[in-house]
Chain A
Amino acid sequence: DAKTTQPPSMDCAEGRAANLPCNHSTISGNEYVYWYRQIHSQGPQYIIHGLKNNETNEMASLIITEDRKSSTLILPHATLRDTAVYYCIVRVARYNTDKLIFGTGTRLQVFP
């Protein structure tokens, strides 16, 4: 079973920041938080991952709470092309072969 809980759907106006929450209250100390997104019928696209510090790349920012029980993916200026299903996954990284366990994700709809 997935170790994360996400809202099933969210809306965001184009140009505004999209803040996607994820709960992972049973996360272990060596588990990373990964975010992927899947645009309709395409393969999931890696976005970002982090352990405990906030992370930022060219696509998004990841904010992880101090107790690591939840996180937020931030798309700073959402565009229509960001409409997708966003998956939050916890996984031990580095020298571990655990498979990715996908939950149901959050369907983000960006509207004009």
Chain B
Amino acid sequence: KAGVTQTPRYLIKTRGQQVTLSCSPISGHRSVSWYQQTPGQGLQFLFEYFSETQRNKGNFPGRFSGRQFSNSRSEMNVSTLELGDSALYLCASDSGEGDTQYFGPGTRLTVL
């Protein structure tokens, strides 16, 4: 079974731009969670989507948003990028019933 895939793997943007990241979960998984990892703050939860609905949300500003499609694929959008948004963005999928989450390889975003 294929694992969680994320595209693109690397991205460079400038301040003020917006960016969209994509995540394809493991086949059969209905929940997708997004995390941000920075050297200063570590791994932090952004939000979780299940059945095309945001089910859980972390403590991030409204510039961070997401959505999920009917095939469970998810996208994450960050608008008006700031330097501090430079991070590794990770998505994880699970069945949606609270069992083990499996992570993708991440998207490395650099904001200049």
Contact = CB atoms under 8 A, between A and B. Distances in A.
B102 A46 contact: yes
Top 8 A-B residue pairs of the complex, sorted by shortest distance between their CB atoms:
A43-B103, A102-B43, A96-B98, A99-B45, A44-B103, A43-B105, A43-B106, A94-B98
Contacts of A45: 103
B33 interface: yes
Nearest to A94: B98
> B58, B96, B103 — which one has the most chain A CB atoms within 10 A of its CB?
B103
Contacts of B106: 41-43
Contacts of A43: 4, 6, 90, 92, 103-106
A95 B103 contact: no
Given A46-B102, A93-B98, A100 B90 contact: no
Interface of A: 34, 36, 41-46, 49, 87, 92-104
B58 A102 contact: no
B105 A98 contact: no
B110 to A, nearest CB: 13
If over half of A's interface residues share one DSSP class (helix, strand or loop), that class is named, otherwise mixed; here it is loop
Given A42-B106, A44-B43, 10 more contacts: A34-B100, A36-B103, A93-B99, A94-B97, A96-B98, A97-B55, A99-B48, A100-B45, A102-B35, A102-B43
Which of B4, B55, B56, B100 counts the most A-chain CB atoms under 10 A from its CB? B100
A46 B101 contact: yes
Nearest to B101: A100
Given A45-B103, A96-B98, A102 B56 contact: no
Nearest to A42: B105
B99 to A, nearest CB: 6
A63 B33 CA distance: 28
B8 interface: no
Contacts of B98: 92-98
Contact of A97 (B4, B50, B92, B105): B50
B32 interface: no
